[in-house]
Amino acid sequence: MSVIIPISVLRDFTTTASISSVYQVLADVPQSVGHFPQVERLVALGDDKYRWEMERMGTQKYYFQVRYVTRYTRNDTEKWIRWTPVAEGNGSFSGCWDLREQDGKTHLHFENTGHLEIPLPRLAKRLIKPFVERQFDALLDGYIASLQRTFSAMA
């Protein structure tokens, strides 16, 4: 038995760092993921595919480890990065970074949509869903904050 938790996140923010500097950080998957909290390991699988292995989450009695694979594509001219799921692990995510220049700054748009499959009884879904959503939001907020510190240092 398992519980499937849908995840959908949108974030927009700006930085004074140049669009080319921001793009260089985000287009380099290991460098970008290096800003993401609680990543135990990022494994390069070749062909722009990476396996994300997160640290364990939960309580002593109930815990899980998120693992999933995504394939990345990028466009240097249009300044975007996209990822699509590869069928492996207990998560599946697709999303993008879209960059544009706006009023002398770089505007960043982030989207990530997918789901996690957690090995718990279905009855636990009402309890675990809010926990997973809060945890994912906190991780994403940490990721964005870390990127913003890096971008600020580049400005």
Above 80 in pLDDT, residue 20? yes
Residue 77: per-residue pLDDT:
97
Cα of 28 vs its chain's centroid, Å = 14
| Per-residue pLDDT tens over the stretch 46-69 | 999 999 999 987 777 767 789 999
Domain boundaries, the chain: 3-154
Q: Does the pLDDT at position 14 exceed 70?
A: yes
pLDDT digits (tens, 9 = 90+) for 62-93: 677 899 999 999 999 999 999 999 999 999 99
Q: Look at residue 3 in the predicted model and tell me its pLDDT.
A: 86
pLDDT score recorded for residue 128 = 80
The percent of residues in the chain predicted with pLDDT above 90, rounded, is 79
| Mean pLDDT estimate for the chain | 93
For the chain, the three-class secondary structure string (H helix, E strand, C coil) is CCEEEEEEEEEEEEECCCHHHHHHHHHCHHHHHCCCCCEEEEEEEECCEEEEEECCEECCCCEECCEEEEEEEEECCCCEEEEEEEEEECEEEEEEEEEEEECCEEEEEEEEEEEEEECCCHHHHHHHHHHHHHHHHHHHHHHHHHHHHHHHHHC
What tokens appear for 16 in the block? 């004074």
Return the percentage of the chain with pLDDT > 70, whole number. 99
Instruction: Choose which CATH entry (3.30.530.20, 3.40.47.10, 1.10.10.10, 1.10.510.10) describes domain 3-154.
Output: 3.30.530.20
